[in-house]
Chain A
Amino acid sequence: GAVVSQHPSWVICKSGTSVKIECRSLDFQATTMFWYRQFPKQSLMLMATSNEGSKATYEQGVEKDKFLINHASLTLSTLTVTSAHPEDSSFYICSASLGPQETQYFGPGTRLLVL
């Protein structure tokens, strides 16, 4: 299957700092990328859907000024958690696909801990 990488895999930061997570599709051009968050013992929660070259569509309850998403190319999307706080500590995972309803190829995830 297609390969999607995520960087970093782990990040620990102080409260108030911003953290950028990169999601790359390595061997295909992803028209659509998705960003998910997983709370402990819960399922994946879709945060936003981004299409290359356009603004991300955020799910209800997700602050777009808090979680900045940029999908500047067909192989790269970034999620920036701005002014992170301990409640933002979570597992963030991205996926890439050829279209919003197509198979999604997932990255390995990024575990964020905000102290």
Chain B
Amino acid sequence: KAGVTQTPRYLIKTRGQQVTLSCSPISGHRSVSWYQQTPGQGLQFLFEYFSETQRNKGNFPGRFSGRQFSNSRSEMNVSTLELGDSALYLCASSPGGGETNVLTFGAGSRLTVL
């Protein structure tokens, strides 16, 4: 069974640009969550999608957005990039039922903002 796949694995952007990250969940998983990991703040929850609907959202500015497609694949977008957005962005999936909070994580997308 393939795991959670995130693309791209590494990317470099400059301030003011925007970026889109992609996540393919485990087959059959309908819930996709996104997290940001930085040395200072640790792992922080961004948002969660289930059946193409955002069900939960963390405390991030509106520059951070996401969406989920009918095949459960998800994308997140960060607009007007700032230096502080440099981080490892992790996607996680779960079945979406009773085991919602046992998340399986992907390897992450490492974003560097110059």
Do chains A and B interact in one complex? no
